[in-house]
């Protein structure tokens, strides 16, 4: 019988050097600062709105939705044959989202 997803999750132990849940959560919530985001977006002629495929009058909800769709599309794990391009695009998407939501 196959294990269900949550059964495997319950057995995951991070005490052996993989960090703890609190540190992972803090790292996940930490955003790119504005200077880093601006430096990344200087490499492209697009504005943060154009990177996310939005117009300048986009609502915060639309920005979040567009970011989630684009980041799923360009995640390096989903593009193993174009890993370098996917990593570069992911950085641009994160930078654009950081600037628009800061």
Rounded to a whole number of angstroms, the distance between the first and last alpha carbons of the chain is 47
CATH number of 32-101: 1.10.287.110
Could you give the CA distance from residue 14 to residue 102 in angstroms, rounded to a whole number? 32
Nearest CA among 34, 93, 21, 27 for reference residue 64: 93
- The structural domains of the chain, with segments of one domain joined by +, span 32-101
Euclidean distance between CA atoms 28 and 82, whole angstroms: 24
pLDDT means per 10 residues in the chain (102 residues)? Answer: 51 57 64 85 93 95 95 89 91 92 82
CB atoms within 10 A of CB 42: 9
pTM of this structure: 0.70
Whole-number pLDDT of residue 82: 92
């Amino acid at each position: 019988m196959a294990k269900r997803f949550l059964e495997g999750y319950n057995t995951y132990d991070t005490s052996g050097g993989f960090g703890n849940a609190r540190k992972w959560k803090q790292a996940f919530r930490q955003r790119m600062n504005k200077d880093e985001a601006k430096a990344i977006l200087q490499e492209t002629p697009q504005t943060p709105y154009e990177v996310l495929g939005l117009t300048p009058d986009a609502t915060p909800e639309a920005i979040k939705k567009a970011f989630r769709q684009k980041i799923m599309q360009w995640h390096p794990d989903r593009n193993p044959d174009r890993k370098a391009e996917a990593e570069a695009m992911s950085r641009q998407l994160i930078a654009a989202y950081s600037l628009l939501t800061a």
